Structures are given as structure tokens and as C-alpha cells.
Structure 1
């Protein structure tokens, strides 16, 4: 999802060498596990809306956890971990685990959802079933932001998201990207800022929030440990404001959206060198990102809904 910034730019020869070497990481117990190195500057496709045969030359593909790897070189598994999944029922007609209804239907699980401080004023103009009692992401009103403010919540949520990460490993993906690490930046503490966000106007940078960067990083550390314990690399998703802290926490690469539109491409490049990809959703953002970092990474343009090839509105381009 669109969001919005990074210490040494490595030489291309170094990245090529790293691509041939397995990377050892700690799994949280002191044991060494092996993750597959990313393929710097390899042609990329973002297929989280449904898999389809990639264009010629594509070697890095990101797909949803419910999908299967493309098997062309490097496969990234998409999981929504810092917000609930949009509602979807299983074959038995019951809400799937991790969906908004699944969380809200249970007294203990609903305590894991970030509450709306002013329930008389919904956090979104849409889907007020959720945006009245809970803090939904204003841009994605079917997704409730989870409450990471306590260690107990983080531990319980990590176990829930960990099942999805396990599914990625079981399907033989190489890495996992967990959305939306930057949710804390949109959980505004004041009614005035929530009102602005609800109406589509982003509050000023640095506006006070209900959750902190440290809350997000503490939760991320649990997910990083889980992924590494399964031999999966894990990508920092967006969140330029972390600068080098995400890499220091243990993220292995980054999956970025709209750094061209937000003029943050150089920030990510500074931290990640060639170990990241960028997805743009507008022509202008795509042009800016291509101009800024095409010599270092694969930049793609996709349609906002990330639809399958052949669908109405489908867009794919790589510069």
C-alpha cells in the first residue's frame, strides 16, 4: 500500500558476489539459519492482487500468502501483519483467521485492535462498523490497525501473524514482506489530525500518534525472528522514517511503494543500496523513481488495485 525514506551505497560488484553466497542469520535462539540472498536490480513484478505469468526477464515476484511462488529466481510472500486482513470467508463460510470480523467477533481478540479514542466520530467515512469502535487505516477502511502498545499484545499478535509467515515458508517462498509497518504513523492522537486524515488531507509530518516507532520496531523484531527461524528473509515495508533502524533491527531488504511520488527514493537507496524494489501507482511517480534510482534497482508501475493481467485497469511497466 502506498506510504512513504535511508547508510552505505554498495557497489554493483559486491551485490553480485553476495547473490552467490548464502546468508547466515540468528533465529533468536543462537542457532544459525540460512536465508536466500536477494537478487539486486533483477527485474521485478508486484502481483499481490493475484498471480499471473510474469513478463519476460522477471526474476523477482511478490505474491500474496494465499498464492504460490512464481519460481523464477526470488519469491516474496505478502502478509498483512500490522493491520487486519479485509473480510473474507473460508470454504466453511466462517471468517478467515486474521480478518477484521475474525478479530472483532471475539472478546479477547478485539482487545488486540487499536480503539478509536472518539467513537462518536468514526476514523473513516466508510465502513463505520469498524471505524466507529476501532482505528481503521483511513485509506483502507476494511483494515483495522492493531494495538502494539503492550508486550502482551505484541506477543499474541506475533503468534497470529507467525502462522501466515509459516505458510509462506511451507510454500517455499524465499522472503516475506509484512504490511503495514508504517501504520503507527497514521494512528493520529488528536481529533483534529484524525479528522484531516479522514477527509483525505495528510496531517503535518511529526503529528502526535497513539503508537510509537518503538512499538512498531518491537513487534517487527518478533516477526523478524520468526521469519529467520524458518529460513525466510524479511523485507521492511515502506517506512522511510526508520532510516537505518529497520536494517539494524534485522530486515534483509525493503519493498517500497511510491518513493518517486514521495521523493524518498534516495533515502531508501542510502540504507539498502540495491537490496530493495519500488512500486509506483502514478505516471509521475514512476517517472521520478526511474530517474532517481533505476540504475540501482527495479522500479515498476502497477495499477492501484494490483490487478491480474487481463483485468480491466491492469497496468505493468518496468523502467
Structure 2
């Protein structure tokens, strides 16, 4: 079944706005950045990056024909890439899809009583990234999806639930999350793919050390914390809002520099009665 969006960022540290600039070009896979941004936004790896301020559509709930003007699209790893666009491949990398716990065995996080630690909002079990062995095994399984994405013609990876440590009952740490995302970054870059930081603005300052190339920020307009991402990612930030107020704020403050879209919260495909898509 299609993956669902993760939690909004819990970062609360105020950050100054530093917007980087770069030249862009349009290739066969859609717009990509043709030159690295200056420090502190320097390109982490020699991989194609989504162009800043490109038309974006978030299709992780199911693929459909992208609307006119869309140049960058994010889809679930089970879906085909969209022809002629820059494609971002969504993988649930830090939690387990509902009902799939048995597929992960001892990699599912349990508390001292042996109870599976769940994300209550999405009914997803958390993955246990506390040891190097378990992180390696998680990365191998997620890495198979990354390889699949590369084979389908995607240009980037969006590993969701990077912030799962914040709802782990204190069992996981930010260091655990970063050590795992480094493994995923190495796998993605080894396949020639960029990798985005999903939410978790409190770790944005370590984006270069963690090998992260751009950011996907849910509701930073609603939370008024988009600057926590742009400080470290420059204009390589994709903003997804789920409310009219969030879209209004994001467009007013960032509509001229960042990719901004509003979707319905379940990210339903076009044609569904719940479908919503708006942009600046």
C-alpha cells in the first residue's frame, strides 16, 4: 500500500535566513542544479540536485499525471518514476509500514517489557537503530529499496521518519538517527542519487556531516520555521503544507525562493474526492 507522510519537524531553534544562489539547467530528468552553492550550502556529493524554486508535486499516496508546471515530483518507491521530471523516491526508513512488523524481526524497537514502541499517529512501529549491527541491517534492507529507486530512474531519495527518536520513549537518540542516515546517504550516493533530509530541523546544522543534499520540510510555513532549514540548505528546500494558513505563510515568505506545495494530509491521488493540491 502507498506510504503515508511522516511527522512534521520538531525543531524549535530559531535560525537566521541565509539564502544561497545557484545557476540551473534543464536536463532529460528535469531541472537540476548546475553549480554548487557557496559555503555553508556547499554540495555534499557529485549527484544531480533538484532545482531551487521548481514546481513540485507530492505524490507519495499514489502516482498520477503531474500537473502542468511541475518539474520535481516525489513518489513512493513502489511507483514508477515520472518521465522527463526530477524524481524523488520516498522510503519509510526509520519506521515500519503498518502490519509489516514481522518482516523486520528483531529490528523493531521494543521497550524493557518487550512491547513494540509505536508511532501512535500513524500506527507504525519504530526501528531499533541503537547498535551498529542493527543500523547496518536496517540500512541493507532500506538500501535494497534505494537500489530499486535507482533502477527505476529516480534521481533522489527521501527517507522518512528521521525524527522517530523524538517519539521513542527515550530509547533512541539523535546520534542513532544520524549514524543510520549516514549509511543511507552512502548507499544513495553510491548509486548516483541525492538524498534529502525529511523534517527534523534540529539536525539541519549537521546536514553536511550526515551527507544530506537537500531538505523536504512538512509544514514549516505553518510552524514558521522554514529558516531553520534554509540556514543550512540554502534554497534547496521543498516545502509541503497541509492547511490554507500554512500555504499562505509559506508563499508570502518563501514563495519566491523555495518549492512550495499544499497537499491533502493523506496525499491522495488526483481523482480522489479528498485530493487537494495548491501552489504559490
TM-score range, shorter chain: 0.7 to 0.9
Q: Contact 2:111/2:171 (CA < 8 Å) preserved in 1?
A: no
Q: Which residues of 2 match residues 121-200 of structure 1 at below 5 A?
A: 133-141=115-123, 143-188=124-169
Count the aligned residue pairs: 259
Matched position secondary structure for 1:218:
helix
Contact kept, 8 Å, 1:274 with 1:296, in 2: the verdict is: yes
Does the 8 A contact of 2:17 with 2:227 survive in 1?
no
Counterpart position of 2:249: 288
Q: Which has the larger radius of gyration?
A: 1
Could you list the runs of 5+ residues in structure 1 that have no partner in the other structure?
24-32, 88-98, 104-108, 120-132, 189-208
TM-score computed with the length of structure 1 as normaliser:
0.76
Alignment match, 1:112: 107
Q: Contact 2:16–2:227 (CA<8 Å) still a contact in 1?
A: no
Q: Deviations over 1:35-81 (max 9, x none)?
A: 21221110100000111111111000000000011133311000001
CA contact (8 A) 1:85 1:100 kept: yes
TM-score, length basis structure 2: 0.86
- Alpha-carbon deviation of 1:177? 0.5
Map 1:1-319 to 2 at 5 A. Answer: 1-4=6-9, 5=11, 9-12=18-21, 14-16=22-24, 19-21=33-35, 34-87=46-99, 99-103=100-104, 109=105, 111-117=106-112, 133-141=115-123, 143-188=124-169, 209-319=170-280
Structure 2 runs not aligned, ≥5 long = 1-5, 26-31, 38-44
Which one is further off, 247-256 or 215-224?
A: 247-256
Q: 1:47·1:306 contact (CA, 8 Å) conserved in 2?
A: yes
Using a 3 Å threshold, how does the CA distance of structure 1 residues 148 and 11 change in structure 2: closer, same or farther?
closer
For the Cα contact (< 8 Å) 1:22–1:37, is it kept in 2?
A: no
Instruction: Give, in whole Å, the separation in 2 of the partners of 1:8 and 1:292.
Output: 11
1:314, 1:147 → 2: CA distance? Answer: 34
Mapped contact 2:19–2:231 kept (Cα < 8 A):
no
Q: CA 1:173–1:54 in structure 2 vs 1: closer, same or farther (change >3 Å)? A: same
